[in-house]
């Protein structure tokens, strides 16, 4: 467990964090931390006189319960006093959330770098793609649905429904009146499963039936269905309408997504920002409902015969579900719902289950004060996954297309405040892997698989409100070309020095032999953009290197090879994977201070390298560990090669072994890998990061 200094308790005693989910770790509590605690634990909890609180190294356990116990009981031998007489359980819970938030902030740089597009290409663990705009609207784009002819329906929150055919959108007239206030408006849209035969389209929206409370207008979520004929909304039928007495003046938490399963329609209604009614079976909000397609209520619903209960209830204790989808293989129903500040949830939806809100939660109030200390209670379901900090979860979609085969049946989760899409791998009703595949391109409201297997996403911005529909366009498989035929030096030439290079059993072998000059084995062909992978082993006490976009000019050093060189460093310095500019500016990108990168190389052994040179961007991996992310504009084209160093005067020597050299030079930018280390731009004159 960490040593938590005494002033840390003030973080939870004084409330007032700015009320915004996407401004975690800021506000008055952060100011108090800076004033009283930073001298011990660092400005951002990174450690100082006291240990770090964000590195996930916890001596006495890393779970919330473990950390809370140490805060509560203390560890006297480490100078950590017990705080159970000063902090109540809610304050201890809030402190944990603050620590988790700060850890997420510490990781943000790496996440952003990993998902940042290069040349418009987004790279993920399994697939690369680019974003292509389909259309845009002048308000919040809320929901996406597809008709059998592959045309698209989208809802605009201020009440407009659009039909998009071949990229051209037409407004549907005659729409029902919606209450466009707060989080309310026109929400979900979806066609009936048998749309081709019946033409039904379902809508949900916030509706004002004229009911007032203390002279304020009240509203609630309503579901209707109708047909679209000649771009007009016609044949409307009521499917689910709550009596005015249940309406509320609160402006948020309308919930509302649709899932059709068999003859049933499932949809949620949020707690309408009132909390306690989510536990009350006599009211409709804070619930997920099940009805027939035509609005009738199934007698098999779990509370149909419970006296006073709202008969359409399927689950309760739901705060504000805004993601709902069915697994394409198992048929399981899954939901994402907003937590308060922290504690967004992924839930497996089963009948009659109480999901706990507002009695238990992994979050706290938006102002940073505790909501409750309770995360568990008998009779209340635990989430399959919770996000802490919150990402402001919204639309979800199980990918069931073929354009991204590695994502088959994975759950795609949208985040609004975090502006991201996460990919969740679910097996046996558990999340076994998570990856962020899109970030900081806009607030993600909905995500949907198109009939052709393309992924569509609704991205929004505020101030003023605007929305756009984009699609993920997959990029083809890379076309690798071998640079070494395994038999001879065809396509290569030995330059400058007199060291010997030969082919032995499918491997290029270069011996350090020349005492006066470096020798280079270079390609005869020049390359601009390329991605190269290869295996290299350096044996002996001399370093080597891989030449990238090498140059040879008769007017410079009598035509000797020079340029970017990826270092292969056999010394204790351990800078393998950095770049040195031979006969130029020297070290452009060293590995000084980069501990993870320095550990990647295995001396005197085979090492696998991946090198990406795309425009002015250079990115390198050593044994799958990222070591370099550099931008430099000096050389845009040149040869690829290998350095065989000259022999030192005091003796020594060795050899360089090279095999499995392959390259992508055609549309190489489409096949980049994501990288989680910050980009470093190199000054064209000064030498940075090296000596």
What is the average pLDDT value for the chain, to the nearest integer?
88
Which pLDDT score is estimated for 175? 97
Which pLDDT score is estimated for 227? 98
Answer left, alpha or beta for residue 220, where phi above 0 means left and psi between -120 and 50 means alpha. beta
Cα–Cα distances in Å, from 380 out to 5, 359, 364, 366, 376?
35, 9, 18, 23, 7
Strands 507-511 and 430-439: unpaired
7 band by pLDDT with thresholds 50, 70 and 90: very low
Tokens of 625: 């560990």
29 band by pLDDT with thresholds 50, 70 and 90: very low
Measure the CA–CA gap between 231 and 172, rounded to whole angstroms: 5
Task: Of 58-62, 125-129, 530-534, give the lowest mean pLDDT range.
Answer: 58-62
Instruction: Check whether 31 has a pLDDT greater than 60.
Output: no
For every residue of 347-362, DSSP letters joined together read EEE-TT-B--TTTS-S
Which pLDDT score is estimated for 10? 28
Which pLDDT score is estimated for 493? 93
Which pLDDT score is estimated for 88? 81
pLDDT digits (tens, 9 = 90+) for 329-352: 999 999 999 988 888 999 999 999
Phi, psi (deg, nearest 5) at residue 600 = -70, -35
Which pLDDT score is estimated for 47? 56
Measure the CA–CA gap between 659 and 645, rounded to whole angstroms: 19
Interior CA angle at 623 toward 494 and 626, to 5°? 100
Chain Cα centroid distance, residue 504? 46
Measure the CA–CA gap between 359 and 172, rounded to whole angstroms: 43
Instruction: Check whether 166 has a pLDDT greater than 90.
Output: yes
Phi, psi (deg, nearest 5) at residue 688 = -115, 150
Strands 586-589 and 607-614: unpaired
Measure the CA–CA gap between 204 and 185, rounded to whole angstroms: 9
Which pLDDT score is estimated for 533? 97
DSSP code at position 67: H
pLDDT digits (tens, 9 = 90+) for 560-607: 999 999 999 999 999 999 999 999 999 999 999 999 999 999 999 999
Q: What is the mean pLDDT of residues 15-40?
A: 43
Q: What is the mean pLDDT of residues 386-415?
A: 95
Q: What is the mean pLDDT of residues 406-433?
A: 96
Which pLDDT score is estimated for 80? 67
Measure the CA–CA gap between 538 and 163, rounded to whole angstroms: 62
Which pLDDT score is estimated for 75? 73
For every residue of 419-459, DSSP letters joined together read TEEEEEEEETTEEEEEEEEEESSSEEEEEEE-TTS-EEEEE
Phi, psi (deg, nearest 5) at residue 662 = -135, 155
DSSP code at position 498: -
User: The pTM is what?
Assistant: 0.84
- Residue among 3, 211, 247, 253 flagged as catalytic: 253
Instruction: Report the DSSP beta bridge partners of residue 455.
Output: 449, 472
Measure the CA–CA gap between 511 and 499, rounded to whole angstroms: 6
**Domains of the chain and any CATH numbers:** 6-115 (1.10.760.10), 122-474 (2.120.10.30), 481-681 (2.60.120.560)
Pairs from 402-409 (Cβ < 8 Å, separation ≥ 24) = 402/453, 403/452, 403/453, 403/454, 403/455, 403/474, 404/126, 404/127, 404/129, 404/453, 404/455, 404/472, 404/474, 406/125, 406/126, 406/127, 407/126, 407/127, 409/327, 409/328, 409/329
pLDDT digits (tens, 9 = 90+) for 228-269: 999 999 999 999 999 999 999 999 999 999 999 999 999 999
Burial 312-343 (b: 16+ CB within 10 A, else e): bbbbbbbbbbbbbbbbeeeeebbbbbbbbbbb
Which pLDDT score is estimated for 200? 98
Measure the CA–CA gap between 5 and 25, rounded to whole angstroms: 18
Measure the CA–CA gap between 189 and 208, rounded to whole angstroms: 19
Specify burial of residue 365 (Cβ count, 10 A radius: 0-12, 13-18, 19+): middle
Task: Of 81-95, 171-185, 255-269, 598-612, give the lowest mean pLDDT range.
Answer: 81-95
Say what percent of the chain tops pLDDT 70. Answer: 88
Measure the CA–CA gap between 334 and 314, rounded to whole angstroms: 13
Which pLDDT score is estimated for 342? 83
Indicate the Cα dihedral angle 574, 577, 578, 581, nearest 10°.
120
Tokens of 132: 């292509």
Q: Decide if 253 is catalytic.
A: yes
118 band by pLDDT with thresholds 50, 70 and 90: very high
Instruction: Check whether 126 has a pLDDT greater than 70.
Output: yes
Answer left, alpha or beta for residue 417, where phi above 0 means left and psi between -120 and 50 means alpha. alpha
pLDDT digits (tens, 9 = 90+) for 283-298: 999 999 999 999 999 9
Instruction: Check whether 325 has a pLDDT greater than 70.
Output: yes
Which pLDDT score is estimated for 9? 29
CB 83 within 8 A of CB 74: yes
Instruction: Check whether 15 has a pLDDT greater than 50.
Output: no
Phi, psi (deg, nearest 5) at residue 560 = -65, 145
Measure the CA–CA gap between 558 and 686, rounded to whole angstroms: 25
Task: Of 94-98, 126-130, 466-470, 630-634, give the lowest mean pLDDT range.
Answer: 94-98
Residue 613's nearest CA partner among 633, 595, 588, 594 is 633
DSSP code at position 623: T
Instruction: Report the DSSP beta bridge partners of residue 511.
Output: 655
Measure the CA–CA gap between 466 and 506, rounded to whole angstroms: 58
Query: What kind and span of H or E run contains 113?
Result: helix 89-115
Q: What is the mean pLDDT of residues 444-462?
A: 96
Ranges of beta strands (E only) in 88-151 are 122-123, 128-137, 141-146
CB 128 within 8 A of CB 465: no
């Amino acid at each position: 467990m960490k040593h938590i200094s005494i002033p840390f308790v003030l973080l939870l005693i004084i409330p007032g964090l700015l009320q915004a989910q996407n401004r975690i770790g800021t506000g008055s509590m952060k100011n108090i931390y800076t004033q009283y605690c930073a001298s011990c634990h660092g400005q951002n909890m990174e450690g100082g006189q006291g240990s770090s609180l964000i590195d996930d190294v916890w001596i006495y356990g890393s779970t919330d319960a473990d950390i809370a116990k140490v805060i509560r009981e203390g560890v006297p031998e480490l100078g950590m006093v017990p705080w159970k007489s000063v902090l109540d359980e809610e304050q201890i819970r809030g402190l944990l959330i603050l620590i988790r938030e700060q850890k997420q902030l510490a990781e943000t740089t790496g996440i952003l770098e990993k998902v940042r597009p290069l040349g418009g290409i987004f790279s993920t663990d399994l697939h690369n793609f680019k974003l292509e705009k389909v259309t845009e609207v002048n308000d919040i784009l809320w929901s996406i649905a597809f008709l059998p002819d592959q045309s698209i329906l989208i809802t605009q929150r201020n009440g407009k429904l659009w039909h998009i055919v071949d990229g051209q959108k037409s407004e549907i007239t005659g729409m029902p009146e919606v209450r466009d206030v707060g989080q309310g408006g026109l929400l979900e849209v979806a066609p009936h499963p048998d749309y081709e035969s019946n033409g039904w389209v379902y809508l949900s929206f916030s509706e004002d039936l004229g009911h007032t409370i203390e002279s304020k207008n009240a509203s609630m979520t309503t579901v209707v269905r109708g047909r679209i004929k000649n771009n007009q909304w016609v044949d409307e039928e009521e499917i689910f309408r709550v009596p005015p007495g249940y309406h509320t003046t609160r402006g948020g938490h309308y919930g509302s997504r649709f899932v059709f399963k068999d003859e049933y329609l499932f949809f949620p209604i949020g707690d309408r920002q009132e909390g306690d009614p989510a536990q009350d079976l006599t009211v409709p909000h804070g619930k997920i409902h099940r009805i027939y397609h035509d609005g009738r209520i199934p007698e098999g619903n779990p509370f149909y015969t419970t006296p006073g209960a709202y008969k359409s209830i399927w689950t309760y204790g739901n705060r504000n579900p805004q993601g709902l989808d069915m697994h394409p293989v198992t048929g399981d129903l899954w939901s994402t719902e907003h937590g308060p500040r922290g504690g967004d949830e992924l839930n497996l939806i089963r009948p009659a289950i109480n999901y706990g809100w507002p009695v238990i939660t992994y979050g706290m109030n938006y102002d940073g004060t505790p909501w409750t200390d309770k995360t568990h209670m008998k009779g209340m379901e635990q989430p399959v996954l919770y996000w802490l900090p919150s990402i402001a979860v919204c639309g979800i979609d199980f990918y069931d297309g073929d354009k991204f085969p590695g994502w088959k049946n994975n759950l795609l989760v949208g985040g609004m405040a975090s502006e991201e899409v996460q990919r969740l791998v679910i097996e046996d009703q558990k999340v076994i892997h998570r990856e962020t595949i899109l970030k900081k391109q806009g607030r993600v409201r909905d995500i949907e698989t198109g009939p052709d297997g393309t992924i569509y996403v609704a991205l929004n911005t505020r101030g003023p409100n605007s929305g756009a529909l984009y699609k993920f366009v997959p990029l083809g498989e890379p076309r690798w070309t071998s640079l070494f035929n395994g038999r001879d030096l065809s396509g290569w030439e030995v330059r400058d020095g007199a060291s010997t290079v030969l082919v032995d059993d499918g491997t290029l072998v270069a011996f350090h032999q020349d005492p006066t000059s470096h020798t280079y084995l270079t390609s005869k062909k020049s390359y601009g953009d390329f991605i190269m992978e290869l295996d290299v082993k350096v044996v002996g006490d001399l370093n080597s290197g891989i030449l990238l976009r090498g140059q040879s000019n008769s007017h410079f050093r009598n035509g000797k090879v020079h340029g970017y060189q990826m270092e292969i460093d056999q010394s204790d310095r351990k800078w393998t994977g950095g770049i040195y500019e031979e006969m130029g500016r020297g070290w452009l990108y060293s590995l000084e201070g980069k501990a993870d990168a320095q550990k990647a190389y295995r001396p005197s052994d085979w090492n696998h390298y991946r090198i990406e040179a795309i425009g002015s961007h250079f990115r390198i991996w050593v044994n799958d560990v990222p070591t370099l992310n550099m931008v430099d504009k000096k050389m845009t084209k040149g040869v690829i090669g290998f350095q065989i160093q000259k022999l030192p005067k005091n003796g020594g020597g060795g050899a360089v072994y090279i095999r499995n050299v392959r390259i992508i030079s055609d549309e190489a930018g489409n096949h980049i890998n994501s990288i989680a280390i910050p980009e470093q731009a190199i000054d064209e004159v000064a030498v940075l990061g090296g000596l």
